[in-house]
Structure 1
């Protein structure tokens, strides 16, 4: 900041003239002299008058305040909340008259920074510049000094219930107040539009930034929009909000941007039902309702033209688990996306689409911003869409990466459509395919049953398409494997085709690690093995490539077991050409679900079992011995 070359007179004249043009004498009560003279200031302070004030106060004014006084000895309407700013005669030491220093000192602790401690002392040593204000204090700190001798200015709005805002110098404060004047005038409701040379220049910057952003250079556009947004230009704020939303710098809120009606209708979900959210804010993956969490209402994003057609295609891919293909579809069609208005920059409604929103990771948001789009975009190959799925099955061995705390199990069926799987292995009374839902929805479904037992093991599984024409049913919360009670669904799943079942359970205090594989064709099991640490139980003719000795003969436990599990999964992938979509099976994504038949048989006579019932915020356990 160079205070020597800053021209105060043109700056203050422009401010005064714009203020006078914006005044409506019939509705407001401005200073008549200032309005008549089109000047918010006063006569310049002479060198002698400045020197006398400095002698009275026992200090030398910082450069920017001194330069200001040489042009105007005080100022009226400094922003929206200071009616009169001090000149040489009114400036005085504040000496913490209202006791704010003591109030903020109570908040200091052992971990307080030197800056926080020094700021508390500001109240008792600052120079007060506000003379008339709306409960607003303007204070210059003689001990918060920059290298060029500037004193920091603190603006404290009592009614704002927030710490004072710091400005590097008096000049920085005045420039901020000029911007505040613009912001307040821009958003005044009425017939008189606030337009002048400054607003036209700022709006021209926003127009160019819009075109630059549509061309894919969102970083340059973001930088260009900062100044028009600081002046409260509505279009600039809306465009900047869309970029910041994609960069994770802004919240997805209906009140967060003043977009046009057409954009509102397309890009925002309908308002939540009364009592469902309360603040109109979107972006959380679940709402806290009653004792359980539930997902937000389902939202289906739509757009006109070829891009809208691609969105529908991507949604079809995503709902069956092929999230990478869905994203490639969106990116390929993005150059054909068209803004609905000149305040429309991105299809940001995608972020809230119940199926596609979880696909738009932080990296993909930047990828989306970087694709040229809109009326001047030239369709082309564009950037290579980022992939989230590693392919194959080996990723399942990494519990942390897959989000699988205890274990997993799945059924793969060759040549079957995913919608067929409930008819093959669904619970008799619930053999229906539910609409795509999140894990939170599944948890609520589980709790809604009100009861579970150790012999009635009917998981709610995710359904989708695997590679090479297979479909899958997947449970990522499988617990301990009981060889004696296990009933593989592989036979029922394989009617008229082939099916594969895998169950992996990692060691817990009460049970060892287990890995099970069973393969069936046309209703008959062909082969199977169950590895339990060093013990392996097998049946049928197991292909050499799937021989469990290759993976678990010397696995034992720990890292050796994990390595064996990974190699077993790689072998299954190679043998059948199958894979599972890691990202689609994460907790953020929605997939179709259904409840399977029990994976364990009922207890035989003399065997123990446990039943858990819950309701009315209480959980009841009951143990018994079967009498069959």
Structure 2
């Protein structure tokens, strides 16, 4: 940031000239002089007048405000809502004149931040710079000072609907107000007002065009910086382009793809992304006008259909040409859990991707696809954006690391602040995932798998009229567990293993093949942990291990690598991790962590993991009913 008289003069002269050129008969009486002189400011303040102000205030002024006054003793039209900004004669202490300290930040407590404490004292000690405004306060705070001696500027108005906005210095504030002036004039032009055209707008529009080519060539960081500046000045193309980069980096706040939702060329790519975010934030609400700014009636009707598909999980992203074929191949891999291979497929096809037209930077529509969208993590979004596309030259970035660890040992990992997870699964050899219902599904269940759903939705499907109240069935995610194996996996935070009633679903599923069944209940709430592993073949158990905190039972010819110690607790899952690693090696199996925790997989309801009550046994069903006052 520069702060010399010449730097100030250059900015203020340009601002004044552009403001005057933008007036088209809508100027007020106060604007006659700046229109006649071409200068929004006033004569410079002599050094002695600046010193008199400092003596009156009892403070030396911050450098950027002091230098500003030496160029112009006050300012007109600082942005769109401050009509007069104080010079040496109008600057005064605010002394909490508006009583805002009661509301911002409110009462301080042990959880208050340093920012809260600064804001709490700001209202009483700040210098007020707004002289005429649309109820907008501009306050210069001598208690919020940086290493260069600059005082922070705070602004607030009732219509801000948020906390006061902070600028690091007076110079930073004025530059923001210059951009706000441009934003407002550019917006007027877009709404049919006079064309807002000058040297600054033309330079910014040229930078947007260059940024587009940079983005397609993989130089997305340089493109994003140029587009962000153009967005700040309100340039019409910049927002739609910049939002594509932001969304692929995982940012969703205020992403609207401005201008593109109104264009049918891009609607099929852009609208589903906005609809998917709407469903994530407000699953049951209808689309509102602000969700699709500028969209036509036809686009809104199409959006309602996309809304239905996304809610039902049936929406599919499509693309033309080789990249479109890669999308279909990647979706098939992802729906069975092989998300790393799905990403490799998309990544390899990216150079052949082609934009719909000039406002299209990348296949951002992938973010809306229920199976492929979760694959686009921020790191992978960066890799996608850094990959040259659409025939543009550039360097191919190194690949991001795969997200799925090998094997099974990850199931027993502890993460900071959490305990080991409860889980159970069945692995079936030589059976495709789509064929698991015939072997493992509960009686009365469909012969086909449920459509892919997020992990968090699994519990919604737990209840079923055809499931006996005593039956411990599982809504299990289904997919591939390595070469030649399929899995049915359930993760939840409750449930107990009881060997007196336990019946492995793997027994029935092992007809003509082999199955592996694992059930892990870590210790929790004074309850001892238990780990069960059993292998079945042709409908019979071959061997099994059941390990509790202090006892271990081995049945059949258990391989040495799968044995637990005869006694001793496994508080941190060390024995469990060792056995899971050995199990993965013994059978060549794995489970896809990313798909199970963050992706979408098909599912089925398994047959009960327990036997029916026998003669003389009974059970109790407890149903919680919400209280109705």
Task: Place the TM-score, normalised by the shorter chain, in its bin.
Answer: 0.7 to 0.9
Query: Post-superposition shift, 1:99?
Result: 2.8
Q: 1:105 to 1:513 in 2, by over 3 A?
A: closer
Cα drift, residue 592 of structure 1? 0.9
Deviation at 1:332, TM superposition (A): 1.0
Match of 2:338 among 317, 322, 326: 322
Q: Answer with 491-500 or 184-193: which moved more.
A: 491-500
1:519-558 correspondence runs (5 A): 519-521=536-538, 524-525=539-540, 527-533=542-548, 534-539=551-556, 542=557, 546-547=558-559, 551-558=563-570
Cross-structure match for 2:306: none
Cα 1:530–1:141 shift into 2, 3 Å: closer
> Larger strand proportion, structure 1 or 2?
1
Name structure 2 gaps, 5 residues minimum. 292-309
Alignment RMSD, CA only?
A: 3.6
Tell me, in whole angstroms, the C-alpha distance in 2 between the residues paired with 1:417 and 1:442.
22
1:38 aligns with 2:38: yes
Indicate the residue corresponding to 2:460 in structure 1.
444
Q: Deviations over 1:407-438 (max 9, x none)?
A: 43323222222111111222221143111112
Deviates more, 1:76-85 or 1:57-66: 57-66
Correspondence for 2:298: none
User: What residue in structure 2 maps to residue 312 of structure 1?
Assistant: 328
Q: TM-score, normalised by structure 2?
A: 0.83
Partner residue of 2:431? 416
Residue 196 to residue 505, structure 1, CA distance change in 2 (3 Å): same
Do 2:243 and 2:255's aligned partners in 1 also have CA atoms closer than 8 Å? no
1:517: which partner in 2? 534
Q: Given the superposition, is the C-alpha separation of residues 396 and 58 from structure 1 closer, same or farther in structure 2, using an over 3 Å criterion? A: closer
Alignment-derived partner of residue 331 in structure 1:
347
* Rounded Cα–Cα distance in structure 2 between residues aligned with 1:379 and 1:88: 55
CA distance in 1, matches of 2:46, 2:522: 84
Larger Rg: 1
Q: Distance in 2 between matches of 1:216 and 1:162?
A: 37
Aligned residues of 2:16 and 2:39 also touching (Cα < 8 A)? yes
For the 8 Å contact 2:411–2:421, the answer to whether it is kept is: no
The alpha-carbon deviation at position 214 of structure 1 amounts to 2.6
Structure-1 residue corresponding to 2:591: 580
Q: Distance in 2 between matches of 1:392 and 1:275?
A: 35
Per-residue CA deviation, residues 57-109 of structure 1 (Å, 9 max, x unaligned), is 67665554454444444322111001122334434444433333455485334
Please state if 1:344 is matched with 2:360: yes
**Distance in 1 of aligned mates of 2:574 and 2:102:** 62
SS in 1 for 2:540: strand
- Aligned partner of 1:463 in structure 2 is 478
Residue aligning to 1:611: 621
Alpha-carbon distance change, 118 to 48 in structure 1, aligned in 2, over 3 angstroms: same
Could you tell me whether the CA contact under 8 Å between 1:451 and 1:612 is conserved in 2?
no
- Using the size of structure 1 for normalisation, the TM-score is 0.83
Q: 1:568 to 1:120 in 2, by over 3 A?
A: closer
1:499 maps to 2:488: no
Mapping for residues 114-193 of structure 1, pairs under 5 Å:
116-142=116-142, 144=144, 150-188=150-188, 189-193=191-195
| Counterpart selection for 1:266 from 258, 266, 269 | 269
Distance 1:565 1:113 in 2: 43
| 1:122 shift after superposition | 4.0
C-alpha contact 2:562 2:583 (8 A) present in aligned 1: no
- Pair 1:536–1:81, CA change in 2 (3 A): same
The superposition leaves residues 130-189 of structure 1 with CA deviations (integer Å, 9 ceiling, x where unpaired) of 222111222334555556555443333243244433334433332221111011111122
Q: Is the 8 A contact 2:218 2:395 kept in 1?
A: no
Q: Provide closer, same or farther for how the CA distance between residues 130 and 357 of structure 1 changes in structure 2, counting only shifts above 3 A.
A: same
